Each structure stands twice: as C-alpha cells, then as structure tokens.
A and B are shown apart, each in its own frame.
Chain A
Amino acid sequence: MDFVFSQLAGFGDAFADLVLDPLTYLYLVTSVFLGITFGALPGLTATLAVTILTGFFGNKIPLDYSLIALLGAYVGAIYGGSYPSIVLNIPGTAASAATAMDGHPLAKAGRGGEALGLTTTASFIGTLIGTVALLIFVWVLLLISKNIASPEKALLALFGILLSGTLMSSDLVVKGWIAGLIGLAMAMVGLDPLLSEPRYTFGWSYMLSGFQVVPVLMGAFAVPQVIEGLRRAEIGKMAQLNDRIVPNLAAVRRYLPTITRSGVIGTGVGALPGVGEDVAGWVSYGVGKSVSREGKKFGKGSLEGLLSAETANNACIGGALIPLLVLGIPGSPPAAALMGALKINNVIPGPTIDPAIILRVVAILVLASFTMFLMGLFTARVFIRILRIPQTLFLPVVMVLTTIGSFSVGGGINDLYLMLGVGFVAYFMNMLAFPIAPLVIGVILGGLFDETFRRSLFLADGDLSVFASRPGAAILLALNVALILSQIPVVKRTFGRLRGRTA
C-alpha cells in the first residue's frame, strides 16, 4: 500500500509542477493540435509527427518541454487518425484502420457526430488506462530490471527486433526479419563500442560516429511518405455530420467492460517491443468481435466495434512507453522516435533513468489526454475542414520541415545525405512489402545488442552457455528460439497435426 501512496504522491508533485507552469499550456495545446492535424491528414502518421517534432524540439528546448511537445503530438496523432477513418473511410494513420470498419458506416447512417464523440471519449479513457499501467508496471519492472545483466539485455534486444519483424510484416515474416537485420547492420557502422575498431566507414570521417538516429528516422518515415503521396488524388466523398459531436455517456456506461478490456489489450500489445498501435487496434477489434454478443454487428456500424479499436490504439501509447523507459527498447515506432529525442538529450532510458522523468512522462500523458479530449469535442469541425487539404499541398512543406529538422540536429549536410539515402531505401522497402518499423528498431537497438552480446562473451571467455546460465537469460533465449521456430513451416505443420490429434 505504501508503494501505491508513494507513487501517487510522486505523480501528484509532477502533475502540480506541470499544471502550474504557464509554458506547459503553450507547448501542450500547440503539440496536441499539430498531432491531431498530422493524424487527420492521410499520408502523415503519428511516427512522422513525433519524428519531425524531435528534429525541431529534440535538443533545442529543455527536455522537460520537449517531452511535452513530443508526447502531446503522439497522443494527438493516434487520436487524429480517427477523423478521416470516420468521415472519409480512409484511415489517417495505420493505427485507426480498424476504426474505419465501424466508424464510417455510422457516419453514413447519419451518426458521424456520435461516432466522433465516442472515439474522442474512448481515446481519452484508453490513454488514461495505458498511463495508469505505465505508472504501476514501470516501477515493478524497474525493480526487476536492476538484476538484468548483459546476456539478458542482448537477448531482449534481439527479441524486440525479431518480434517487431514477425508482427509488423504484412507479407512474409522473413521480410520483417531481413528488415530488422538491415537495421542492425546500419547500427554496426562507425567505431565499435568496445575496441573502437572502425567498421564500414569507407574512409569517411563522418561515418566514424555511426548513423545518427534522427536523420535515419526522418529518412525512414518522412521521405517515403512524401514520394508516395505526391500523386494526383481526389479527396474522397465526406460523410455529412448532421448531429452534434458529444460523448454518448449512456453508450460509454453500457460498454464500460469493452472499454476496459480494450484498454488492457492495447496496453499489453504496446508493451511488446516494436509492435505499434495498428496491431493493438486490430487485436482488440478481433477479440471484441469474437467475445461480444454483438460480434455479428461488427463492421456494420457497431458502437462496440468502434470502441474496441479506438480505446486500444490510444492505450497502446502508455504500454509502448513501458519497455522504452525500463529497458530502452521502444514499444512502437513513435516510441522509437521518442527514444531518439531522449538520446540526443543524453538521457539513456533503462534501469538507470531518473525517476523524475518517468513521473513527468506520466503527468504529461494525463494532461495531454485531457487536452485531446477537450480539443476533440470543441474543435472537431476544424480538423474535418483540414481533411480537405490535398496532400500535394502539404507534403512539399513536410519535405522542407524534415530537411531543416535533420540538418539542425547536429551532423549538418552529411545528415541530409544520410536522410535521403535512407529515404530512398525505405521507399523501395515499402514497395517490396518489407516493413520499416523493424529496421528502425534494429538501428536503435543495434548498438545495445552489439555491446552487450560481446561483453557477455568477453566476460565468459567465449563460453556461449553464458546466454543460458541465468534464469532470465534462459527464458529469453527460449522465447527467441520459440519465436523463430514458430514461423518455420515444418514446425507449424507439426504443431497443427498435434493440435488436430488432441482435439
């Protein structure tokens, strides 16, 4: 009980600090507005919003304020994706793809305002559920993580890359793993962390410090979006909103168990390394469809379906921050961008992170979700107007934003070459259905994996059993092996036959 009270007291202090600082509101309102706008505009994503703001705010204002800007944009963008999903039947972000299944039929039936009011409420409650989970689990995991040594860290980083490759791949799983390996390979460039041996620098001094995270993120997420989006596109037919945008409290009360379940699912999926809000939305929607008595109405304008998807994708935010803050392993692509911001501020997420940062993150998430809720209810029609802007008008501006953002982070012109190179590679990877998220996770975790893997072997004089000598390491090794084996067709078939026999 003392633990809970001390947590609440710590959170109360951080929240009071935040609320009493007038600058908080400037950053919060601006970033949530920008986030919703980015989420609402098809072609721009939550990851892009956080990445671009990282370029701008990452190391230019104190970390306390840049966290407000980045988390505000993150929360706003995940919610903002629901606007085009409902009004245009085009998901603004991948996270709100499941929202379109029931949101658009509701809008076509003249209940668009009710659908928007409910998604706003569901996103608000979802973010709060994820935040509460973050407040509780981050401390429990921090206590556990103090016992984590190099072998566990190496295996955890590998698990994050493998899991991200497995779950984020829309085509073959092998492509997700290859994308993760490309990211790992990119992280090998520069001086190695133990012996300072130059690797793959090709005699270029800029490469000695390795690839910087922000230009890689900008290249991976912004440039392909710009290339893909610069084509003639008709704005779809918008569903008319005749009713008022208000939260339907009766529906919220009625579907409270669904909201709670979706919040828990979203948080859980978010806590998986490298798995984003889109997976959370679909998993929650799928579970809702199979367990609900109204399951047959899903996809035809079901309020429960809408709540399942929208609560989960926002709850995923808090979940995604748990592995980021505790282990330094981002739980989703926007969290990877957030990690880039922490890194350029010399904050190393993991067991040694300053607890004040965690409490501030929790307080910011609560305040950001309130801001999002109020903006969603009172300024929704502004965002619906924004949907009419063609992407050919705003994507060139995004290109200029990424250029100056990338340039100013530190590496100058060389960072721009890196950004463009990664951008072209990422565009072709998208075209060939190789997921980008595992690549970014690979780049971010590559250094950690390299250092901890070799340190483990060094301390064990090359004895490979070091990766199974401790209970934690043995469990993680088993998880890695099981994850790989579970994707091999022969093993899949054997398990299928065994299941058939036992059934």
Chain B
Amino acid sequence: METTDDKAVMRARDFWASLVLMALSVFFLWRTSEIPFLDARQGGVSGVHWYDSAAIVPLGIFLCMLVLSGILMAISIRAGGAKNALSSVGLGWNAAEALRFGTLAVIFLSYIAALVPRVDFIIASGLLITALIYGYHAGKPARMKLAALVVAAAGIAAMTMHYPQSEWDSHGDDWVTLALWAGLTVWMLWNNRDDRVLRIIPWIAVCTPLILVCAMAFGFRQNVPNRGGLIFSQIEYHYYVTLRPLWRD
C-alpha cells in the first residue's frame, strides 16, 4: 500500500523527472530541426515533403514528450512536488543508498568501459564477481568503498597503460588486474575467516567466467571479449594446438 510519504517522495521526484524530460525533448527537437523537413531541396532537386520526411515521426514523438512532461510537472506541482523537490524528501535518497549506488556505478563503469575491452575476460570478471559479492553481501559501507576502489584502480591502470585500441592485446594491465584480484581475495579471506559465504567466492569468481568464455568460444564458436588476454590466449592456443589434434587425428 502506498503511503502519503511515498506519494510525496514520488511527486517530488516527478518534478525533477519532468524537468529532465523537458530539457531532453527541447534538445532533441533542436536536433530534429537539422533533418530535412519542409520541401527541402538536395542538389537542386525537390527532395522531401513534410509527409515523407525522416523528421516527421521524431518531431511528433518529442512534441508529445514535451507535452506529457508538462502534464507530469503540473501534476507534481499540484501535489506539492515542487515544494519538496529540494528537500531530502524530494530526493528520496539517503547517504547509505547514494553510497551503494555510487560505488556500484564506479564498479560497472570501470568493468564495462575499461576492463572488458583491455583485460583478459576471466581476470576482469573474476575481479568483478569478487568485488560485488564481498562488497555488497553484508551491506557494510567500508567493504563497498574498498570493492569500488580496487575495481576503479584496475580500470584506471588499464586505461592509462593501454588506452588505444591497438594496445588492447598487451598484457601489462592483465597482470595489474590479476594482482588486485588476488590481493582483494587474500584480504577478504584473511579478515573474514569465519564467513562461510566468502569462502566460496574464489570458486565462483574463477569457474563462472572460465566456463562461460570457453563455452562461448569453443562451444558456440562466438566472439568473446579480448581474445588476446593473458589467460584466454593460452587456453585458445592449447585448445587448437594441443587438445584439438587429439580428436581431429
């Protein structure tokens, strides 16, 4: 059942949401204006009428979005959303939730933008799994910060050492990430010797990406991230050179 407080938070959030949506609608309406619309001529030839222009549908979409965000804002203001918008009620986020989301955002951004393209997938994913389970299983802020710090450090190292795509096969960042993963695992196990859940993390962190990447590459014969990675390049080499000839011959 939705309480009055929940409703107040929601209407205040609606105020911010409608502002963002209005800004986006106006921005994209401006971008839409660059698409040929009314009797545009290209190379001296009459090209586009309003009804077959590529702008007609987007124009309708963003105009509708502008109108609906205006309606949302009106509903929010009438329900007191604008008044609460700048208070803590309006944001509906406390410091603990902001920290949780912020650290998760850092971890995911570092993983997707920095680690997956540059670092061996097994190492990058092993670090991600270890950091996420250790950081968030017990809900302790200190662990969340440590997890985010370790993954961010690996991400920054990968970006600074091998930023251009031509260097993505290099292994320097793989070693750094592997060291950080091993360090986090040892730290975690050393400081939580009695925690049964944490003891199975290394197994999950190693087995999951290893099985997945091998199934994808050799079972489904699909592309996998960073084929030249430190561990996967060895697996691939031995699969084709050592193992495959055994049943091929």
State the A residues within 8 Å of B (CB).
56, 60-61, 171-172, 174-175, 177-178, 181-182, 184-185, 188, 192, 194-195, 197, 199-200, 223, 227, 230-232, 390, 392-393, 395-397, 399-401, 403-404, 407-408, 412-413, 416-417, 419-420, 423-424, 431-434, 449-450, 453-454, 457-458, 461-462
Instruction: Tell me, yes or no, whether B26 is within 8 Å of chain A by CB.
Output: no
> B137 and A420: CB pair below 8 A?
no
Instruction: Tell me, yes or no, whether B75 is within 8 Å of chain A by CB.
Output: yes
Q: In the assembly, what is the distance between CA of A433 and CA of B109, in Å?
A: 24
> B71 and A433: CB pair below 8 A?
no
With a cutoff of 8 Å between Cβ atoms, the chain A residues found around residue B213 in the complex are: 404
With a cutoff of 8 Å between Cβ atoms, the chain B residues found around residue A188 in the complex are: 57-58, 61
Q: In the assembly, what is the distance between CA of A184 and CA of B212, in Å?
A: 34
Task: Assess A197 versus B36: contact at CB under 8 Å? Given A185-B61, A403-B125, A457-B52.
Answer: yes
Q: State which of A396, A401, A424 has its C-beta within 8 Å of the C-beta of B105.
A: A424
With a cutoff of 8 Å between Cβ atoms, the chain A residues found around residue B108 in the complex are: 223, 399, 420, 423
> B208 and A199: CB pair below 8 A?
no
Task: Assess A413 versus B116: contact at CB under 8 Å? Given A172-B75, A199-B35, A390-B197.
Answer: yes
> A197 and B35: CB pair below 8 A?
yes
Min CB distance, A406 to chain B, in Å? Answer: 10
Q: In the assembly, what is the distance between CA of A453 and CA of B221, in Å?
A: 40
Query: Which of B127-135, B173-181, B238-246 contacts its partner?
Result: B127-135
With a cutoff of 8 Å between Cβ atoms, the chain A residues found around residue B92 in the complex are: 431
Q: In the assembly, what is the distance between CA of A231 and CA of B61, in Å?
A: 37
Min CB distance, B59 to chain A, in Å? Answer: 10
> B51 and A393: CB pair below 8 A?
no
With a cutoff of 8 Å between Cβ atoms, the chain A residues found around residue B65 in the complex are: 178, 181-182, 185
- Closest B residue, CB atoms, query A450: B57
> B137 and A392: CB pair below 8 A?
yes
Min CB distance, A413 to chain B, in Å? Answer: 5
> A416 and B212: CB pair below 8 A?
no
> A453 and B57: CB pair below 8 A?
yes
Q: In the assembly, what is the distance between CA of A392 and CA of B52, in Å?
A: 51
Task: Assess A175 versus B128: contact at CB under 8 Å? Given A188-B57, A393-B204.
Answer: no
Interface residues of B in 46-62 (CB under 8 A from A): 48-54, 56-58, 61-62
With a cutoff of 8 Å between Cβ atoms, the chain B residues found around residue A200 in the complex are: 28, 31, 58
Q: In the assembly, what is the distance between CA of A420 and CA of B112, in Å?
A: 8
With a cutoff of 8 Å between Cβ atoms, the chain B residues found around residue A182 in the complex are: 65
Query: Which of B13-21, B82-90, B154-162, B183-191 contacts its partner?
Result: B13-21
> B104 and A417: CB pair below 8 A?
no
> B121 and A181: CB pair below 8 A?
no
Instruction: Tell me, yes or no, whether B72 is within 8 Å of chain A by CB.
Output: yes
With a cutoff of 8 Å between Cβ atoms, the chain A residues found around residue B105 in the complex are: 424
Q: State which of B21, B54, B221 has its C-beta within 8 Å of the C-beta of A199.
A: B54
> What size tier do the contact residues of chain B reach?
35 or more
> B139 and A231: CB pair below 8 A?
yes
Task: Assess A407 versus B128: contact at CB under 8 Å? Given A178-B69, A185-B28.
Answer: no
Interface residues of B in 214-228 (CB under 8 A from A): 216, 220-225
> A449 and B224: CB pair below 8 A?
no
Q: In the assembly, what is the distance between CA of A197 and CA of B104, in Å?
A: 38
Instruction: Tell me, yes or no, whether B117 is within 8 Å of chain A by CB.
Output: yes
With a cutoff of 8 Å between Cβ atoms, the chain A residues found around residue B202 in the complex are: none
> B220 and A408: CB pair below 8 A?
yes
Q: In the assembly, what is the distance between CA of A230 and CA of B143, in Å?
A: 13
A-B contact pairs, 5 of them (CB 8 A): A177-B64, A403-B116, A413-B117, A431-B92, A457-B52
Instruction: Tell me, yes or no, whether B163 is within 8 Å of chain A by CB.
Output: no
> B224 and A458: CB pair below 8 A?
no
Instruction: Tell me, yes or no, whether B68 is within 8 Å of chain A by CB.
Output: yes
Instruction: Tell me, yes or no, whether B10 is within 8 Å of chain A by CB.
Output: yes
Instruction: Tell me, yes or no, whether B209 is within 8 Å of chain A by CB.
Output: yes
- Closest A residue, CB atoms, query B48: A195
With a cutoff of 8 Å between Cβ atoms, the chain B residues found around residue A431 in the complex are: 13, 92
Min CB distance, A341 to chain B, in Å? Answer: 14
User: B51, B92, B222, B224: which has the most chain A beta carbons within 10 Å?
Assistant: B51
> B137 and A227: CB pair below 8 A?
no
- Closest A residue, CB atoms, query B93: A431
Q: In the assembly, what is the distance between CA of A457 and CA of B92, in Å?
A: 46
Q: In the assembly, what is the distance between CA of A60 and CA of B218, in Å?
A: 12
> A174 and B57: CB pair below 8 A?
no
With a cutoff of 8 Å between Cβ atoms, the chain A residues found around residue B10 in the complex are: 171, 432-433
> A458 and B208: CB pair below 8 A?
no
> A417 and B133: CB pair below 8 A?
no
Task: Assess A396 versus B50: contact at CB under 8 Å? Given A178-B72, A403-B125, A407-B224.
Answer: no
Q: In the assembly, what is the distance between CA of A174 and CA of B67, in Å?
A: 10
Q: State which of B51, B71, B111, B137 has its C-beta within 8 Å of the C-beta of A462.
A: B51
Min CB distance, A389 to chain B, in Å? Answer: 10
Q: State which of B69, B125, B138, B224 has its C-beta within 8 Å of the C-beta of A232.
A: B138
> B133 and A232: CB pair below 8 A?
no
Min CB distance, B99 to chain A, in Å? Answer: 11
> B36 and A400: CB pair below 8 A?
no
> B204 and A454: CB pair below 8 A?
no
6 other A-B residue contacts (CB within 8 Å) besides A199-B58, A396-B132: A178-B21, A231-B100, A231-B136, A390-B137, A390-B197, A400-B209
> A432 and B112: CB pair below 8 A?
no
> B54 and A195: CB pair below 8 A?
yes
Q: In the assembly, what is the distance between CA of A413 and CA of B112, in Å?
A: 8
Instruction: Tell me, yes or no, whether B23 is within 8 Å of chain A by CB.
Output: no
Min CB distance, A360 to chain B, in Å? Answer: 21
With a cutoff of 8 Å between Cβ atoms, the chain B residues found around residue A232 in the complex are: 136-139
With a cutoff of 8 Å between Cβ atoms, the chain A residues found around residue B64 in the complex are: 177, 181
Q: In the assembly, what is the distance between CA of A231 and CA of B104, in Å?
A: 11
Q: In the assembly, what is the distance between CA of A240 and CA of B177, in Å?
A: 45
> A399 and B57: CB pair below 8 A?
no
> B112 and A400: CB pair below 8 A?
no
Task: Assess A172 versus B72: contact at CB under 8 Å? Given A185-B61, A461-B51.
Answer: yes
Q: In the assembly, what is the distance between CA of A181 and CA of B58, in Å?
A: 10
> A194 and B69: CB pair below 8 A?
no
- Closest B residue, CB atoms, query A408: B222
Q: In the assembly, what is the distance between CA of A303 and CA of B143, in Å?
A: 46
Min CB distance, A498 to chain B, in Å? Answer: 24
With a cutoff of 8 Å between Cβ atoms, the chain B residues found around residue A185 in the complex are: 28, 58, 61-62, 65
> B52 and A400: CB pair below 8 A?
no
> B223 and A397: CB pair below 8 A?
no
With a cutoff of 8 Å between Cβ atoms, the chain A residues found around residue B21 in the complex are: 178
Q: In the assembly, what is the distance between CA of A457 and CA of B60, in Å?
A: 14
> A454 and B129: CB pair below 8 A?
no
Task: Assess A404 versus B212: contact at CB under 8 Å? Given A178-B69, A396-B133.
Answer: yes
With a cutoff of 8 Å between Cβ atoms, the chain A residues found around residue B75 in the complex are: 172, 174
